A and B are shown apart, each in its own frame.
Chain A
Amino acid sequence: SQTIHQWPATLVQPVGSPLSLECTVEGTSNPNLYWYRQAAGRGLQLLFYSVGIGQISSEVPQNLSASRPQDRQFILSSKKLLLSDSGFYLCAWIPLNTEAFFGQGTRLTVV
Chain B
Amino acid sequence: AQSVAQPEDQVNVAEGNPLTVKCTYSVSGNPYLFWYVQYPNRGLQFLLKYITGDNLVKGSYGFEAEFNKSQTSFHLKKPSALVSDSALYFCAVRYSSASKIIFGSGTRLSIRP
B56 interface residue per 8 A CB criterion? no
Interface size of B in residues (CB-CB distance below 8 Å): 24
Separation of A88 and B45 alpha carbons in the complex (Å): 15
In the complex, the number of residue pairs spanning A and B with C-beta atoms less than 8 Å apart equals 54
Known: A43-B106, A90-B44. Contact between A97 and B97, CB under 8 A? yes
Cα A101 to Cα B49 in complex, Å, equals 13
Interface size class of chain A, counting residues whose CB lies under 8 Å from the partner chain: 20 to 34
Could you tell me which B residues sit within 8 Å of A by CB distance? 32, 34, 36, 40-46, 49, 51, 88, 90, 92, 97-98, 100-101, 103-106, 108
Residues of A within 8 A of B (CB): 6, 34, 36, 41-44, 46, 49, 88, 90, 92, 94, 96-105, 107
